[in-house]
Structure 1
Amino acid sequence: MTKFDVSAVGFAVLDILGRPVTRIPEGGRADFIEEIRMTVAGTAAATGMDCAILGLKTQMVTTVGEDDMGDFLIAKMQRYGMDTGLVRRDGSVQISATILPVRPNGERPALHVPGTATTFTVAEADLDAALDARIIHLGGTGLLKSFDGEPSVAFLKRAKELGRTTTFDLIQANPDTVTLVKPLLPYIDYFVPSIDEAAEIAGLENPAEVARYFKAQGVRNVLLTLGGDGVYVDPEQGEPFTLPAHDIDVVDTTGCGDSFTAGIIVGLTKGWDLRQCARFASAVAAKVAMGLGSDGKLTSFDDTLEAMNSLPLKGQN
């Protein structure tokens, strides 16, 4: 019996978001906007936070700075119920942080400081505790300079040796990311990237072809998020399928992919089949997109389950 439902490992960042932003004022002038927030974010941390909001016993495994922003991030994680016993502090560099001016349509260009993402690793003394969960989610490959490569391969390999279920996502994929991701693929049970990230690595564009590429490399289940077009799923067993996105008024797309992964993880802990997991995950992403930041309007499992059954779908009459 493991101590946690999910261990979220890797990229954690403090997001500072403002909306709606239509321009950067000239010189020293100011524009007035409606909302500014600071949130827990990142391909590991946002997924872990959303899992905690949805009721899972969640631990965070990452590194943050010995600065005020690091204090805030840890306190915020704890407020959501996340266990932060394996959140290490590094005073040699500031915390990873991003400024996001969110456009009226929900898109968000980013100004990012890599910070502690580059120094994160899982120390040998922390390894057993980091793997003490039913599901191990690794997020952020490509930005985890000290953990990318052989440390990540060894970590996921050990997770599979222990019989853990593994989920995986990355961020800001580029041609160089291929060499980091390929060795991980045989140890990934559920790969949940955006189509843009996955296509960049595979060198293909069609979702079906992209999914087949990753399955040929050893991934068991591929779930490609397609933004407003929904999700394409190629499962280990059964035929591939596509599900539409919910038809909602989008406020901010920050963290939608991370929240989708959280929805998949929640569904897996409940023993649902992959279609039901993807339906629920789509509702999680919709709730996040309806507000500002990586948690958006996400409040609870029950509320999200109701949203799954009540929010309209795109293309639905």
Structure 2
Amino acid sequence: MTRIDLSALDHISGSISIVGSMNADYTVTTERLPQPGETLNGGPLQILPGGKSGNQAAVAARIGANVTMFGAVGSDANGDFLLGRLQDAGVDTSHVRHVGGASGTTVITVDAKGENTIIYSAGSNAKVDMDYVNSQKETLLASSVLGLCLESPMETVTATAKMCHDAGIKVLLNDSPFTAELPEELIRYADVLLVNEHEMAQLLGIGEPEDGDWLGSDWGAIAASMHEFGFKEAIVTLGGDGAVVIDADGSTHHVEAATVDAKDTTGCGDAFMGTLLAGLSSGLSIRDSASLAVYVAGYAATNYGAQASYGTGEEIKRFFGAE
């Protein structure tokens, strides 16, 4: 086996703020995904810790970053469950807000090929407002990188991006759950965008290749369109084809995917995002961070669940026979 250089995992130590969602994931496995109106038999129900922002926080902390989570959990049992699992991963949850009502939840179906469908219910995540974020400003601005996704109210995401960008903190935006109608302010204050190939096509109004071969696309033109849209740097994930990094100067760089036997892709995009945050906060370039992220996400695909599938730096290096 060719040994892979993942030595950057030994040097992850940066500080990250993540403002966003924590969810309890109600997960069932099936042989295949159901058609509309169809009932299928599934495996045992699992309740696993999730939420895009919580996942990103967990993976970044597991590989060595100093992560502070900002968000809200409800007064139900899931709230304590979610915070406990993040704490187990090494995330600082002392600034998370406690509100009445249900915590965020998702209902997930995973098929035999590792593909999934996900339904999201915001719950307490909808109560992550700017009054709360402003009350946490001093701690929030103590980090070097901010991670945002769109499972929190858009006005909170936008205002938080502005607050941190103006303070010199690098802002990474994961446009997920995807929306094509991003506020101009959010685009202006997000330093790096992370999307998958389908989201990128919708965002830029680009037709998808008939043969599904995104690697054969004109990435120079795509980079120009991304810059014209307003994002200086971006990363487009391509599933089994890895990812393409779009640099501020318009150049592009393809990062090959890690080859693994995937069991469950739930949370792999969040593993990629969390690794980007960890790498950039630790002084790695955007390209080197993406090159590391494909392996961290690939490792996650070999296990079930989101946070439950994430490994430590040592576990990931050992799995890939790394140096």
TM-score (norm 2): 0.82
The size of the alignment, in residue pairs, is: 297
Percent identity, aligned pairs only, is 23
Structure 1 counterpart SS, 2:96: strand
The CA deviation at 1:72 is 0.6
C-alpha change, 1:191 and 1:282, in structure 2 (3 Å) is same
Structure 1 counterpart SS, 2:138: helix
The CA deviation at 1:84 is 0.9
Where does residue 226 of structure 1 map in the other structure?
238
User: Which ranges of structure 2 fall in alignment gaps of 5 or more residues?
Assistant: 1-12, 209-213
Measured on the aligned residues, the alpha-carbon RMSD in Å equals 2.7
1:79 counterpart = 2:82: no
Where does residue 190 of structure 1 map in the other structure?
192
Where does residue 146 of structure 2 map in the other structure?
136
Alignment of 1:274-285 (within 5 A): 274-285=286-297
Q: Which amino acid aligns with 1:232?
A: V
Q: Contact (CA 8 Å) 2:223, 2:252: kept in 1 or not?
A: no
Tell me how far apart the structure 2 counterparts of residues 23 and 222 of structure 1 sit (CA, whole Å).
Answer: 32
Q: Which has the higher contact order (CA 8 A, sep 6+)?
A: 2
Tell me how far apart the structure 1 counterparts of residues 241 and 79 of structure 2 sit (CA, whole Å).
Answer: 36
Tell me how far apart the structure 1 counterparts of residues 207 and 40 of structure 2 sit (CA, whole Å).
Answer: 41
The CA deviation at 1:157 is 1.7
Tell me how far apart the structure 1 counterparts of residues 190 and 297 of structure 2 sit (CA, whole Å).
Answer: 22
Where does residue 315 of structure 1 map in the other structure?
none
Equivalent in 16, 20, 34 of residue 26 of structure 2: 16
Q: Which amino acid aligns with 1:144?
A: S
Where does residue 97 of structure 1 map in the other structure?
105
Alignment of 1:1-317 (within 5 A): 5-22=15-32, 31=41, 33=43, 36-91=45-100, 93-122=101-130, 123=132, 124-140=134-150, 143-145=151-153, 148-149=154-155, 151-174=156-179, 177-180=180-183, 182-205=184-207, 208=219, 209-237=221-249, 239-295=251-307, 297-307=309-319
Q: Contact (CA 8 Å) 1:18, 1:100: kept in 2 or not?
A: yes
Tell me how far apart the structure 1 counterparts of residues 176 and 47 of structure 2 sit (CA, whole Å).
Answer: 20
Deviations 1:255-314 (A, max 9, x none): 111110111122223322333211110001101111111135432123334556659xxx
TM-score (norm 1): 0.84
Tell me how far apart the structure 2 counterparts of residues 301 and 119 of structure 1 sit (CA, whole Å).
Answer: 34
Deviations 1:171-200 (A, max 9, x none): 2324xx4143x3212212221111222322
The CA deviation at 1:81 is 1.3
Q: Contact (CA 8 Å) 2:267, 2:307: kept in 1 or not?
A: yes
C-alpha change, 1:183 and 1:21, in structure 2 (3 Å) is farther
Tell me how far apart the structure 1 counterparts of residues 42 and 265 of structure 2 sit (CA, whole Å).
Answer: 21
Q: Contact (CA 8 Å) 1:223, 1:231: kept in 2 or not?
A: yes
Structure 2 counterpart SS, 1:284: helix
Tell me how far apart the structure 1 counterparts of residues 142 and 74 of structure 2 sit (CA, whole Å).
Answer: 25
Tell me how far apart the structure 1 counterparts of residues 157 and 33 of structure 2 sit (CA, whole Å).
Answer: 40
Q: Contact (CA 8 Å) 1:187, 1:219: kept in 2 or not?
A: no
227-236 or 113-122: bigger deviation: 113-122
Q: Contact (CA 8 Å) 1:8, 1:136: kept in 2 or not?
A: yes
Deviations 1:18-70 (A, max 9, x none): 3244366xxxx99463x654333222111111001111111111111110111
Where does residue 8 of structure 2 map in the other structure?
none
